[in-house]
Copies of this chain bind each other. A is one copy, B any other.
Amino acid sequence: MKQSMTLIPTLREVPADADVKSHQLLLRAGFIRQNASGVYSFLPLGKKVLQNIEQIVREEMMAAGAMEILMPALQQAELWQESGRWYSYGPELMRLKDRHSREFALGATHEEVITSLVRDEIKSYKKLPLTLYQIQTKFRDEKRPRFGLLRGREFIMKDAYSFHSSPESLDEIYKKMFQAYSNIFERCGLNFRAVIADSGAMGGKDTHEFMVLSEIGEDTIAYSNESDYAANIEMAPVLAAYEKANEQQEELVKVETKDQKSIEQVAAFLNVPASKCIKTLIFKADDQFVLVLSRGDHEINDIKLKNYLEAASVELASPEETKALMNCSVGSLGPIDVDKDLKIVADHAVEYVINGVCGANDEDHHYTNVNPSRDLEVAAYTDLRFIQEGDPSPDGKGIIQFAKGIEVGHVFKLGTRYSEAMNATYLDENGRAQPMIMGCYGIGVSRTLAAVAEQFNDEKGFVWPANITPFDLHLIPVNMKDEQQAALANELYSVLGQHRFEVLMDDRQERPGVKFADSDLIGLPIRITVGKKASEGIVEVKERKTGNMFEVHKDELLEKISSLL
């Protein structure tokens, strides 16, 4: 590609409203332009990266046995009414009416359309499993679009859906998809983690998010420093790998702790670490109050508590409820001498506290030398807290660390959520109608582009990974008016192209400084500069990643480049 023929509108200044590196650089290097809030055009370089990512996605989907289709953006309201989401999806779903006043949604996702399609065409277990995918434009009217392509209102997604007659079959495809997703993000060069995620209200069982590690991510990932283990922080179990301190149990003492409310205050006042404090909270689990204990340096994880109690909902009791129940404020709550009817559950860690501190259900007083097995009536010790950095990894390998992540992919066992609502059934071997079991698998394709842009840059611009770079080589004749330079540049452009390298040639009449700065900003893996030594057939090669530069004779150029890429 000759640069004079294409559109790469680079900017020297950082655009005012671009907060994150990827957004800034995609604008500055001329990859994208904004059309409206959260709506972008992909310029030639951006489009090329997008296509390279799509090609990788297609290859891996093919390998996973998924078939490509293309569904429409215009989706009849009736389908969304069948699934119930016409009402529940909220303002993120863009809606419009056609000339006959029929209502449509602009596809934010395609569960309804695909379920409708498959229910009409698949009648027998013999035709299952079936996995279909598309790469298509999605519309979601985000309340606050931000970070450029990372959270847009019109974006490109790969969404796949699988249909099964047994959970085992779903497991199998789920595994294949998981592998495909790992391959895709690996091939894009991303530093990512497959993270155990919350299946939320969807009723699914397994679900993983693929998170690209990034400081600007909105999710926290707990991962092992030694293994592949990673989970959304909400989902990570904590091993009960505590040890009792080698310490004599002392006698329980009630002490005055005037005006000391928080764990930090009490611990400082009594000169004990927070890990020796026992924090007492009252939760309302459905209609039942429960006293929940954790160590002062730990946080109760609502989801774990809810799952343990098998409750539909859990929430902290209000100060009023607490007062009515315990006749004290929240800051003075404690587990000693409480009503026998009030169930006490505690996080594992509490069991290992020796000579600890807890509230006394009496304003301005605490107990010290609390030893749970001796002093407390705990119904059960179990895993109720959020994992923390430094905790052992739940898989027993290594230590947990935290990272922020950008979600670029999601694999999900949907089960029969949609097939039941929309009556998508097949006849089993006994001729009985059964709801199809479904999985769904999404990748934010344009978001993946932004995630790569976020990870691959330095102070001068992009440093594209070889697999998805818009071009392999940036060929720069320093002075196109110099006949020898122009001749050698044109010769190399032609020869390199014939050898299947993608070459961008800067044939513009610009100053060398402008060309070099643009080249660093655009960030192709290798720059080839044709300058004063053109007459000797010598060019300068620069590797963008390392900054290494050296001179090469044109006869050795192909070999040199191949070894670098």
- Report if A324 contacts B (CB, 8 A): no
Count of chain A residues near B, Cβ 8 A: 58
Which residues of chain B have C-beta atoms less than 8 A from A46's C-beta?
Answer: 69-70
A104-136 interface with B by 8 A CB criterion: 104, 106, 113, 116-118, 120-122, 126, 130-132
Q: Mark A145-179, 1 if CB is under 8 A from B, else 0.
A: 00000000110000000000000000000000000
Partner of A98, one of B35, B51, B94, B118: B94
Please state if A70 and B41 are interface contacts (CB–CB under 8 Å). Answer: yes
Residue of B nearest to A136 (CB): B137
Binds B, one of A4-12, A267-275, A285-293, A486-494: A4-12
Please state if A71 and B35 are interface contacts (CB–CB under 8 Å). Answer: yes
* Complex-state Cα separation, A141 to B97, whole angstroms: 10
- Report if A36 contacts B (CB, 8 A): yes
Identical copies of this chain, number: 2
Which residues of chain B have C-beta atoms less than 8 A from A42's C-beta?
Answer: 69-70
Tell me what chain A mostly uses at the interface: helix, strand, loop, or mixed: mixed
Chain B nearest Cβ from A381, distance in angstroms: 47
Which residues of chain B have C-beta atoms less than 8 A from A9's C-beta?
Answer: 121
> A33-B117, A44-B67, A126-B509 are known contacts. Are A132 and B7 too (CB-CB below 8 A)?
yes
Which residues of chain B have C-beta atoms less than 8 A from A95's C-beta?
Answer: 96
Binds B, one of A73-81, A185-193, A352-360: A73-81
- Report if A68 contacts B (CB, 8 A): yes
* Complex-state Cα separation, A130 to B30, whole angstroms: 15
Please state if B99 and A65 are interface contacts (CB–CB under 8 Å). Answer: no
* Complex-state Cα separation, A50 to B46, whole angstroms: 23
* Complex-state Cα separation, A288 to B154, whole angstroms: 54
Which residues of chain B have C-beta atoms less than 8 A from A141's C-beta?
Answer: 98-99
Cβ-closest 6 pairs across A and B: A96-B96, A42-B70, A9-B121, A44-B67, A91-B99, A6-B67
Known contacts A7-B69, A33-B121; 16 further A-B pairs (Cβ under 8 A): A5-B67, A7-B132, A35-B117, A36-B75, A39-B72, A41-B69, A41-B113, A41-B117, A47-B68, A47-B69, A48-B68, A50-B70, A74-B139, A91-B99, A96-B96, A98-B153
Measuring CB to CB, which residues of chain A are less than 8 angstroms from any residue of chain B? 1, 5-7, 9, 33, 35-36, 39-44, 46-48, 50-51, 65, 67-76, 91-92, 94-96, 98-99, 102, 104, 106, 113, 116-118, 120-122, 126, 130-132, 137, 139, 141, 143, 153-154, 509
CB-defined A-B contacts under 8 Å, sample of 6: A7-B67, A36-B104, A44-B69, A73-B73, A106-B106, A126-B509
